Amino acid sequence: MKNALAVTCVAVLAAGACATNPVTGQREYNLMSEAQEIQLGQDMDPQVRAEMGVYPDAGLQEYVQGVGMRLAKASERPDLPWRFAVVDVPAVNAFALPGGYIYITRGLLAHLDNEAELAGVLGHEIGHVTARHAARAYTRQTSVGIGAAVTSIFFPEAAPYAAAAQTGLGVLFLKYDRNQEVQSDSLGARYAAKEGWQPAGMEGVLETLGRISVTADRRGVPNWLATHPQPADRVAKVSADVEALAATRPAAEWTVNRDEYLKRLDGLMFGDNPREGLVRGREFIHPDMRFRLAFPEGWKIENGKEQVSARPAEIRDAMMTLELVPDAQGSSLEAVAASSMQKAGFTRLGGENTRINGIPAFVGVYDGRTKDGQAVRVRAAHIRLDGRVLLLAGIASETRYPQAERAFDASIRSFAPLDAAEAARIKPNRLGFTTVRRGDTWQGLAERTGGLIPASDLAVLNGSAPDTTPPEGQRVKIVIAGE
Ligand SMILES: [Zn+2]
């Protein structure tokens, strides 16, 4: 066995594909050289930034970059071109690209309690890069021929852009296996401790993620617990490492920086950014572009930067998408529809010029194939609104289409203008702070501060279990209506 493996590795080495893992020091099969890892990260970073958006707060970006760089310099691969960015995404998540590109969502930042937890999250993602999990995931993915891109996630199934993985866009969501997650947790705690951050921050993060998974589950977000390591289990796994690391310094010498960290979060946008449209129940509302529409009942809506998509909870071969059609000015809607669908490889079966709630549209039915060759049928509306053309389409396999058609049509018919007064009323929520008074409960605090999020979410936002009592005198995060 051993010989056979050695031969394989040498043979692969000759082709330049066997490399030493920087963390374990062991040689392993990997399709990617370090130069390729860096190149891939460089190529994909602009796509990630375009799709997710960079949160517009230079001070916060600099702060996260600063914490991240200290951790990266303490890792086994200090010389990668490390870059850290806060992305303008409300979901709770963090990602890594091969080559050292790390992203944390504003949703996850909002849920952290202190700088030691931030160090834990960034250290974990750095671990996916240093241990080459990200590169390996990419290798695995390309070798089965699925996509052109890679990312990894801290919190896999709450990913906001799962649909993007099926479109041509670069952001795929690769899943790390349980051992890789546990290894990254341990590496994250180690890098943080090396730089003086309390290694228990890693446990705090995992506990918070565990609580979010419970609340997310209740809302019908896909159940990632079925296929992924439970954060609770990960806490148990990392706690021995954390204890050993914590024992290396007197307790008082560890950095936690709670007050400094929370100060950075003051005014942080929380939940959807209405400038990019927002999801309310089954409705998608866009106050800037001034329209609304309703997706089919019970479908899960994902609001990506370049595309909104909706899918049924349990059916895989039907979905709806909404996106802008580029370069669509001047020509008739029918001509725009013909060229945009033809470019995407679709053949028109029929269609008509019409008006949807007073807005001009061309609604057609098309046949085509997905990238993997599956025959699909599409009901697509090209809608002209204020000089722009939007494409609202329902896509289903040929067999699913007959039963999905009515739902597609109802959504298309629900597209309607949003009046100015209503658009002006829609503002983002933001993080603020209050001090817990004697007798306060999470319920009482939620009500006293406007009730913008449920009491249980408020507790989780503050790193606490919903059945606890907020400690009197403590400064806690609250969600307030934006101006
Ligand atoms: Zn991870």
Q: pLDDT tens digit string along 397-451?
A: 899 999 999 999 999 999 999 999 988 888 888 999 999 999 999 999 999 888 8
Give the pLDDT confidence score for residue 206 in this predicted structure. 87
Give the pLDDT confidence score for residue 444 in this predicted structure. 94
CB of 150 within 8 A of CB of 40?
yes
- Give the pLDDT band (50/70/90) at residue 220: very low
Q: How many angstroms does the Cα of residue 299 sit away from the middle of ligand 1? A: 27
CA angle 266, 464, 187 (to 5 degrees): 85
In sequence order, the β-bridge partners of residue 95 are: 103, 153
How many separate domains does the chain show? Answer: 4
Q: How many angstroms does the Cα of residue 155 sit away from the middle of ligand 1? A: 7
Q: What is the CATH number of the domain that holds 374?
A: 3.40.1000.10
Range of the domain at 443: 428-481
Largest CA distance in the chain: 75
Q: How many angstroms does the Cα of residue 152 sit away from the middle of ligand 1? A: 7
User: Which amino acid would we find at residue 448?
Assistant: R
If asked whether residues 310 and 409 sit together in one domain, one would say yes
CB of 271 within 8 A of CB of 457?
no
Q: Kindly tell me if the per-residue pLDDT of 153 is higher than 70.
A: no
Looking at 424, 448, 466, the residue that finishes a domain is 424
- Give the pLDDT band (50/70/90) at residue 171: very low
Give the pLDDT confidence score for residue 15 in this predicted structure. 36
Alpha carbon 1 to its chain centroid, in Å, reads 42
If asked whether residues 55 and 175 sit together in one domain, one would say yes
The token duo for 232 is: 């609770």
The token duo for 142 is: 């390309």
Q: How many angstroms does the Cα of residue 279 sit away from the middle of ligand 1? A: 27
The token duo for 374 is: 């599956």
CB of 187 within 8 A of CB of 124?
yes
If asked whether residues 164 and 79 sit together in one domain, one would say yes
Q: How many angstroms does the Cα of residue 185 sit away from the middle of ligand 1? A: 8
Q: Kindly tell me if the per-residue pLDDT of 307 is higher than 90.
A: no
- Give the pLDDT band (50/70/90) at residue 19: low
Q: How many angstroms does the Cα of residue 124 sit away from the middle of ligand 1? A: 6
If asked whether residues 110 and 242 sit together in one domain, one would say yes
Q: Kindly tell me if the per-residue pLDDT of 29 is higher than 70.
A: no
Average pLDDT over residues 297-322: 83
Of residues 90 and 263, more confidently modeled: 263
Return d(Cα 169, Cα 47) in angstroms, integer: 8
Q: How many angstroms does the Cα of residue 176 sit away from the middle of ligand 1? A: 7
Q: Which of 422, 328, 304, 317 is nearest to 378 (CA)?
A: 317
Return d(Cα 238, Cα 451) in angstroms, integer: 36
Give the pLDDT confidence score for residue 97 in this predicted structure. 86
CB of 427 within 8 A of CB of 421?
no
The mean predicted confidence, pLDDT, of the chain is: 81
Of residues 260 and 133, more confidently modeled: 260
pTM beyond 0.75:
no
Give the pLDDT confidence score for residue 329 in this predicted structure. 72
Q: How many angstroms does the Cα of residue 104 sit away from the middle of ligand 1? A: 12
Q: Kindly tell me if the per-residue pLDDT of 154 is higher than 80.
A: no
Return d(Cα 98, Cα 87) in angstroms, integer: 17
Summarize pLDDT for 44-70 with one digit per residue, the tens.
Answer: 888 788 777 899 999 999 999 999 999
If asked whether residues 1 and 125 sit together in one domain, one would say no
Backbone angles phi, psi at 257, to 5 degrees: 50, 55
Give the pLDDT confidence score for residue 10 in this predicted structure. 34
If asked whether residues 282 and 173 sit together in one domain, one would say no
Q: How many angstroms does the Cα of residue 178 sit away from the middle of ligand 1? A: 9
Place of tokens 């399709």: 31
Rg (CA), the chain: 24
Average pLDDT over residues 147-151: 28
If asked whether residues 144 and 218 sit together in one domain, one would say yes
Q: Kindly tell me if the per-residue pLDDT of 275 is higher than 70.
A: yes
- How far apart, in Å, are the Cα atoms of 208 and each of 93, 212, 234, 244, 263? 12, 6, 12, 22, 20
Describe the chain by its helix, strand, coil percentages, rounded to 5. Answer: 40, 25, 35
Q: Which of 228, 1, 183, 197 is nearest to 112 (CA)?
A: 197
Q: Kindly tell me if the per-residue pLDDT of 3 is higher than 50.
A: no
If asked whether residues 213 and 226 sit together in one domain, one would say yes
State the helix-helix crossing angle for 58-73 and 178-194, rounded to 10 degrees. Answer: 100
Q: How many angstroms does the Cα of residue 98 sit away from the middle of ligand 1? A: 13
Question: For the purposes of burial, counting CB atoms within 10 Å of the CB of 287, is it exposed (0-12), middle (13-18) or buried (19 or more)?
Answer: buried
Give the pLDDT confidence score for residue 231 in this predicted structure. 67
Of residues 98 and 142, more confidently modeled: 98
Summarize pLDDT for 79-88 with one digit per residue, the tens.
Answer: 999 999 999 8
- Give the pLDDT band (50/70/90) at residue 373: confident
If asked whether residues 157 and 192 sit together in one domain, one would say yes
Q: Kindly tell me if the per-residue pLDDT of 387 is higher than 80.
A: yes
Of residues 370 and 310, more confidently modeled: 310
If asked whether residues 119 and 190 sit together in one domain, one would say yes
If asked whether residues 291 and 439 sit together in one domain, one would say no
Summarize pLDDT for 71-114 with one digit per residue, the tens.
Answer: 999 999 999 999 999 998 887 888 888 899 999 989 899 999 99
Q: How many angstroms does the Cα of residue 94 sit away from the middle of ligand 1? A: 8
If asked whether residues 122 and 161 sit together in one domain, one would say yes
CB of 275 within 8 A of CB of 258?
no
Place of tokens 């390309």: 142
Backbone angles phi, psi at 285, to 5 degrees: -120, 135
The token duo for 143 is: 């070798």
Q: How many angstroms does the Cα of residue 121 sit away from the middle of ligand 1? A: 9
Q: What is the CATH number of the domain that holds 438?
A: 3.10.350
The token duo for 137 is: 């995931």
User: What number of CA atoms fall less than 13 Å from residue 355's CA on the CB side?
Assistant: 4
Q: How many angstroms does the Cα of residue 127 sit away from the middle of ligand 1? A: 8
